[in-house]
Amino acid sequence: MTRGGKVASLLVLHGPNLQALGEREPERYGKLSLSLINQRLQAIAQSQDVRLSFYQSNLEGELINALYTAKADGVDFIVVNPAAYGHTSIALRDAFLSVAIPFIEVHLSNIYARETFRHRSYLADIAEGVIIGLGVQSYELAVQAACDKLRTTD
């Protein structure tokens, strides 16, 4: 798919501790590794002719830098699992507002079935959408929705 004469691009941004997926609390987050999740997402994007890249960091500043790099690189859409930073990072929120790249927020677990402090997301009200509690399918639905939005807003 092309947008403005270039291949549409999507960034999946993974927040802290997600490199441990498959090993960390598999009953809550599932048994698939981040690498396998990325492979599944890549297959969805390829079927839609969308260029997909991935970035994961445990560091808030690196995630913010990745957003500014995405803007400079002309990324068209972002799917983000901010993990705990979604509940704590005003700086990450400010960076999303600054780069003005549309995004969908995802969480593997149902944040509303967990501790009260997880019920607040600093990103939800500025996101195109939020998908939570469906495990890996949260990511898959978000990538498909992002591809659909890219197709309809060209």
So which residues are the catalytic ones? 29, 107
**DSSP result, 69-124:** HHHHHT--EEEEE-TTHHHH-HHHHHHHHHH---EEEEESS-GGGS-GGGG--SSG
Mean pLDDT of 71-84: 96
Q: Taking residues 20-33, report their average pLDDT.
A: 71
CATH value at residue 48: 3.40.50.9100
The pTM assigned to this predicted structure is 0.91
Name the domain count of the chain.
1
151 vs 153: which has the higher pLDDT: 151
Is the pLDDT assigned to residue 25 strictly greater than 70?
Answer: no
Residue 36 in this model has a pLDDT that exceeds 60 = yes
Band of pLDDT at residue 119, cut at 50, 70 and 90:
confident
* Residue range(s) defining the domain that contains residue 100: 2-152
pLDDT at position 26, please? 63
More confident residue, 16 or 21: 16
Cα–Cα nearest to 122, from 147, 150, 143, 103: 103
